[in-house]
Structure 1
Amino acid sequence: MHDYPYHIVAVMGVVTNSEGRILLVKTERRGWEPLGGQVEAGENLIEALQREILEESGCTVTVDKLVGVYSNPAPPPKLIFAFSCSHAAGEPQPSHETSDAGWFTPEEALQMVVHQPQHVRLRDVLSHNESIIYRSYTTNPYQVLYEKRF
């Protein structure tokens, strides 16, 4: 029997509406943040992201582009895939996972998202230039270990 490494796989989506505003949700743990969460067994990344966004905000989206891949090797190790998304339908509303949801300008969103890893991923998506970024980091304190654009 092999001891395979165990990683949490997660997705994050920065959802933009037709007016260029960004969808954020407010959570008890981290305050305002983009939407996303863990990929469940049997799901692909796109299905997981669409499910998480619907659960957290009541909105449906089109997943447009993969923008970044992030790894945090601290236990438990995590791989996070960040995507840009377009709003398809639904009005933002709180859920059992979120206390608030709403649309904000990109500038407002960058000020409101204070959890460092989430803020960096949001900034990466908003400044996307067609390349995909890979970043490895640790938290407490936030520190970039490796970064490369492809």
Structure 2
Amino acid sequence: MEMPTHIVAAGGIVEDDQGNILLVKTHHGGWVYPGGQVEVGENVINAVTREIKEESGIDTIVSHLIGVHSNTGMHKWYDGVTDVPTKVMFDFVCKPVGGELATSEETTDNRWVAKEQVLDMIEAPAIRTRFQAYLDFDGSVQYMDYVTKPAFELKMKRDI
């Protein structure tokens, strides 16, 4: 039996005391909230704070979990050859505790954006849908199952 392969990732919606959200501009995905893959031997909480720091220069602490998302579609990586497996992503609300805005190898820009203007900047349908779950957060963690290729399709959405 072949063992399943999944990418585990974490996203951090960083909100400051004025209600602004930290966004980073990536080379491939446009404006997004920071996040990325959990590395081998790393826990999800450390992964999200590391990714935020790497992509934006901002130090954070994790406040609470707001979403668990599965991208159950398989597709090719940007190289057109490598298969990207199913992803499981955890979205957290995080609070900034220090650091200075800085770009990285993965980001070309970053900024604090008023919460009500974030959806005007994010173009990727999956990221928009996940950010909307943050805006709609009522204390229940949102679970979503979707595919992004060939087009975004939300297959399931429910509170857990």
Give the alignment's TM-score, normalised by structure 2.
0.90
RMSD, matched Cα: 1.0
> Residues 20-43 of structure 1, C-alpha deviation per residue, up to 9 Å, x if partnerless?
100000011111100000000001
Where do residues 86-125 of structure 1 align in structure 2 (5 Å cutoff)?
86-125=95-134
C-alpha distance in 2, partners of 1:93/1:24?
Answer: 12
SS in structure 2 of the partner of residue 99 of structure 1: strand
Q: Segments of 4+ in structure 1 off by > 2 A?
A: none
Aligned residues: 149
Deviates most, 29-38 or 140-149: 140-149
The corresponding residue for 1:82 is 91
The corresponding residue for 1:142 is 152
The corresponding residue for 1:128 is 137
SS in structure 1 of the partner of residue 107 of structure 2: coil
Q: Structure 2: any 5+ residue segments left out of the alignment?
A: 75-84
Where do residues 4-83 of structure 1 align in structure 2 (5 Å cutoff)?
4-75=3-74, 76-83=85-92
Deviation at 1:126, TM superposition (A): 2.3
C-alpha distance in 2, partners of 1:97/1:43?
Answer: 20
Once the two structures are aligned, what percentage of the paired residues are identical?
Answer: 40
